[in-house]
Amino acid sequence: MPLESPLPSIAERISALNARYRHHSAISVLERALADPQVGRVTMVSSFGAESVVLLHMISLLDRSTPVLFVDTEMLFPETLAYQLDLTEKLGLTDVRRIHPDTARLAEVDPDNTLHQRDTDACCALRKTETLQNALAPFDAWVTGRKRFQGSTRKTLEFFENEEDLRIKVNPLAHWDPADVQDYIINNRLPRHPLVSQGYPSIGCAPCTSKVAPGEDPRSGRWRGSDKTECGIHFVDGKMVRGPIAAEPEGMKA
């Protein structure tokens, strides 16, 4: 059976994909995205953070050779680096690519590793956004763990998103809530990030991540004391997010 010809634009492909898979489960969306010619060459981007094990486990069940990009900002917790190695081995993932910021760029922009103290947006752009965008260049699509419950800017998140007409973002867990995530981890007996039990429900770089008290928003420990909410690897309304995102107008919310 001949492959379906690609639609003329990424926007049209996104619309068709969301219509086609609207009522599918998370793992079904992921499985079909890995094989659908409308999606193209796919990689997964994983932080190996608090909830990353869910999608990594699904990938291990579907295709362990799927490329997984892990951005090592060189400011991560030692526990995250150890967890990445341990989880990769336990799940049998065969193509986890640990990518680093460009050495020359670091020497030029952040030679003393203090940029995060002066400008967190610039630090995220240097260590994470630029690094990831370079690594994504060969791919047509990437899988993310973004979910609707993670903030007002994600309330209308679909399974497939258009990233600047450059590539497709696949969000298999878009419709999951916190209980779904925890149930999946418990039911599949998956190893948790070691910092979760120490009060870190959301884990990024060590200098910009703090413990979260009971009752606080899980992401309140990220860039505590500032209005920054995103690291900058996602696009919103055609712009790369490197700082706080304005709330959506009431009429635009789901």
CATH of the domain at 181: 3.40.50.620
Instruction: Provide the pLDDT confidence category of residue 91 given band limits of 50, 70 and 90.
Output: very high
Report the distance separating Cα 107 and Cα 208, nearest Å: 21
Q: Choose, from 123, 124, 208, 231, the residue flagged as catalytic.
A: 231
- Domain holding 168, by residue range, is 10-197
Identity of residue 94: T
Residue 28 lies in a domain: yes
Name the residue among 33, 35, 58, 55 with its Cα closest to residue 45.
55
Point out the least confidently predicted range of 37-51, 118-132, 217-231: 217-231
Instruction: Say whether 124 is catalytic.
Output: no
Is the confidence at residue 238, as pLDDT, over 80?
no
Per cent of the chain over pLDDT 90 is: 62
Residue 216 lies in a domain: no
Residue 20 lies in a domain: yes
Q: Which position has the higher pLDDT, 7 or 80?
A: 80
Residue 233 lies in a domain: no
**Number of domains present in the structure of the chain:** 1
Residue 250 lies in a domain: no
Residue 116 lies in a domain: yes
Residue 3 lies in a domain: no
Identity of residue 159: F
| Backbone phi, psi, residue 32, to 5° | -75, -35
Residue 79 lies in a domain: yes
